[in-house]
Amino acid sequence: MAVTPNDAIEERRREIQNRRKAQKAKHRKAALKRFFVFLCIVAVITLAILSLTVFFPVEKITVESKSSAYTNEQIIKASGIEKGKNLWMTGFNAEDNIPVKLPFIAEAEVIRKFPSTIIIKTKPAKAVYALSNKKDYYICDGDYKVLEIKKELNDSLILISGVQVNKTKVGNRASFADDKKQETLERIFALLTEKKINVNSVDIAELMEMKVRVEGKFDVHFGSSAHLDLKIAHLAGMLKKVDKDVRGSIDLSEYTPENDRGLLTRE
């Protein structure tokens, strides 16, 4: 049977219609896929929002503290963590806030345990230095964080005099007015610690006439900070040689690599 021009036109028309139907079906399938992806995203977002607001409320707060300066209730209050609040949304800055609000705590760690428990662990701060500042003593830990401000000195602390401390709130790090003196002070402590020499006090009122009391029985005159490392190394050698019952003063103010001598004056 011969194919007429009309039959060819009809065949072409059906091909075009079928192609259009296929394209529409493909578009519908793609649109449906996008819709399902959208629903999944909305579901995930909704679930995330609920998990950060409604789900997982804090039911138990446990404190593991080695500090006897504060009660568990004081530590929890300082943390800002509240029962009933979401496990992940409460106490964001607790680890920073606790040592500032409770100065005798050196470090705080917050552990969240699924589904509803928070554990607060703390380490105590130890008073090390007493910064003499006008009529007050700034009691500080080893990093110069001010633990308290007192009018009287505790003899067990290392007295630092001759430095000016800017007004500093309890819980914050002491701010020294003179950077040069602070650098010198930290260098003295580092060198003495390295040589395992116990320090009782440091006076750097004059950087050319620095004085340190060590081992509870020797007043050491360093003079300036020149050759300070050599002076302290020489001091360590002298301390090893003197008898345990000897007390007095040691003058290292004239010490140089060429004149490597220290003068011990017994009491």
pLDDT digits (tens, 9 = 90+) for 98-131: 999 999 999 999 999 988 899 999 999 999 999 9
Q: Establish if 166 belongs to a structural domain.
A: yes
Three-state secondary structure call for residue 14: helix
Mean pLDDT, residues 235-240: 95
Does residue 3 lie in a domain region? no
Per-residue pLDDT reduced to its tens digit, 193-218: 999 999 999 999 999 999 999 999 99
Domain of 95 in residue numbering reads as 60-124
The pTM assigned to this predicted structure is 0.75
Cβ neighbours for 89, distance < 8 A, ≥ 6 positions apart: 52, 53
Q: Is the pLDDT of residue 18 over 70?
A: no
Regarding whether 220 and 262 lie in a shared domain, the answer is yes
In a domain, 152, yes or no: yes
Per-residue confidence (pLDDT) for residue 224, from 0 to 100: 95
- Band of the pLDDT at 12, cuts 50, 70, 90? low
Whether 99 and 169 share a structural domain: no
Strand order from edge to edge, sheet including 60-65: 60-65, 117-124, 105-113
Q: Check whether residue 80 and residue 119 sit in a common domain.
A: yes
Residue 165 lies in a domain: yes
CATH code of the domain covering residue 112 = 3.10.20.310
Domain count, the chain: 2
What CATH number does the domain containing 168 carry? 3.40.50.11690
Q: Which two tokens stand for residue 174?
A: 């002491």
Reported as a pLDDT band with limits 50, 70 and 90, residue 38 is low
Would you say residue 13 lies in a domain? Answer: no
Where residue 205 falls (left for φ over 0; alpha for ψ -120 to 50; beta otherwise) is alpha
The DSSP code for 187 is: H
Is residue 192 in some structural domain?
yes
* Percent of the chain with pLDDT strictly greater than 70: 82
